[in-house]
Amino acid sequence: MFKRLKKDIQVVFDRDPAARSVWEVVFCYSGLHAIWFHRLSHKLYLRGWVLLPRMISNLARFLTGIEIHPGATIGEGLFIDHGTGIVIGETAEIGKNVTLYQGVTLGGTGKEKGKRHPTIGDNVVVASGAKVLGSFTVGEHAKIGAGSVVLKEVPPYATVVGIPGKIVCMYGEKVRGGEDDVDLRHDQLPDPEGQMLFCMQHHLQLLQEKITKLEKELKK
């Protein structure tokens, strides 16, 4: 147990440059507290308990601002940074070394029974305010841009932005160091709307040049 707690604390130091000391992490990081509460509620949930795990989950939400259903499955190395407003549904599955920022929702889209929440692969980064809704898989090493709404499957190493989410990059330009390398640079994402506007501007400029050329020929 202590080995796992030590690893949880080390994850914070690995991914948050603001962390200064072990005591600061233990007492001041609500994301860490939410994960610890979830482990307890999840164990009780797996044993067939219903009410007590939900009560623990609600207590954790009150104390941390993070709601994780006791039925959600969470792998090792999850890091929740400034987690206020995060919601993780009952059948959500989160792989290893995943990073979630504030306001993320891993939710469902209807009243169907069974698996209705997303499966998040290893080393995925989901940026602030992103919503991943539905029963599908987000592949390993994928990045979800801030404020995006993802409604369908995301392949590994893809970058998704927009509403609804669209794949704008595959594998990217960075050479990753290994299986446990987590790329946290979710601020450096392509801008598909900006690229579209740039293309439109370029075409308008070409049209203007052609019109100017035709006007000169008509004057002659």
State which H helix or E strand residue 201 sits in.
Answer: helix 192-219
Return the pLDDT at 177: 44
- Residue 156 shares a structural domain with residue 196: no
Q: Answer whether 80's CB lies under 8 Å from 31's CB.
A: yes
The domain of 162 spans: 2-188
Return the pLDDT at 192: 64
- Residue 110 shares a structural domain with residue 208: no
Return the pLDDT at 204: 85
- Residue 170 shares a structural domain with residue 203: no
Residues 192/125/120/104 CA torsion (nearest 10 deg): -80
- Residue 117 shares a structural domain with residue 215: no
- Residue 162 shares a structural domain with residue 103: yes
- Residue 169 shares a structural domain with residue 200: no
Return the pLDDT at 175: 36
- Residue 175 shares a structural domain with residue 84: yes
pLDDT band at residue 94 under the 50/70/90 scheme: very high
Inter-axis angle of helices 30-46 and 51-64, nearest 10:
180
**Pairwise CA distance, residues 32 & 16, whole Å:** 12
Return the pLDDT at 26: 92
Tens digits of per-residue pLDDT, 166-211?
888 877 554 344 445 555 555 555 666 666 777 888 888 888 888 8
- pLDDT of residue 79 exceeding 70: yes
- % of the chain exceeding 90 in pLDDT: 58
**Pairwise CA distance, residues 77 & 68, whole Å:** 16
- Residue 128 shares a structural domain with residue 219: no
Q: Which residues contact 54 (CB under 8 A, 6 or more apart)?
A: 41, 70
Instruction: Indicate the range of 110-114, 153-157, 174-178, 182-186 predicted with least confidence.
Output: 174-178
- Residue 152 shares a structural domain with residue 211: no
Tens digits of per-residue pLDDT, 10-58?
999 988 888 889 999 999 999 999 999 999 999 999 999 999 999 999 9
**Pairwise CA distance, residues 182 & 121, whole Å:** 12
